Amino acid sequence: MEDFGFYLVMTNPKVGYAACAEAAVKAGVKMLQLRMKHAPREEVLGVARRIRALTRGTETAFIVNDDPALAAVVAADGVHVGQDDMPVAEVRARYPGLRIVGLSTHNLEQAHAAAAAEGAARPDYIGVGPVYATPTKDIPDPVLGPARAGEMIAAAPFPAVAIGGINLETIGAVKAAGARNFAVVRPVCGADDPYASICALQRAFGAV
């Protein structure tokens, strides 16, 4: 898998999930994740079907957070799992239609373990974070800071996505630490104009 740059994680977008997804597709975002923690499964399924319809045939890959079964039902492009979720190899065995499987990592040991994985156990990309403090997780993992995140990114032989507290003020330090891919939640999901927010972040990342 090649680097993809911008990765949008959608959680409670101010303008609604469909409008936010449309903005991401319009802006050329390559990776779009649906993360609806604690929402009823039927609600998530309905939103996921809508996002699948909006992204089908575009350059935007649709990823579902945590739930490979639901991802398979809606024919998503992939799923993102955490350290305590279904193992990558099991996801691939049970849901072979999911072409992308991402894995969260929160320290150098986890990044090295992902890098050393072989065959079906090897993720297509890893999330690296949180780089900075973020309120989007119920129980946040320890903050890495750009330097430690950079070490984890350097250890990955596949795309590594910096995530956690990344915005227009912090994106320069994240790129300077070695990030080639970055994920955001609040700067876009909290915006009245998500398309403008995405474009501003894309410009900022490209300019530093």
Tens of pLDDT, residue by residue over 3-45, are: 999 999 999 999 999 999 999 999 999 999 999 999 999 999 9
* pTM, rounded to two decimals: 0.96
DSSP 8-state class, residue 206: H
Q: What is the pLDDT of residue 207?
A: 67
Q: Is 16 exposed, middle or buried (CB count within 10 Å of its CB: 0-12, 13-18, 19+)?
A: middle
User: Distance (Å, rounded) from C-alpha 22 to C-alpha 63?
Assistant: 15
pLDDT in tens, 112-165: 999 999 999 999 999 999 999 987 766 678 999 999 999 999 999 999 999 999
**Considering only CA atoms, which of 175, 173, 138, 171 is closest in space to residue 160?**
175
3-state secondary structure of 196: helix
Q: What is the pLDDT of residue 141?
A: 87
Q: What is the pLDDT of residue 180?
A: 98
CATH number of 6-207: 3.20.20.70
Domain segments of the chain as ranges: 6-207
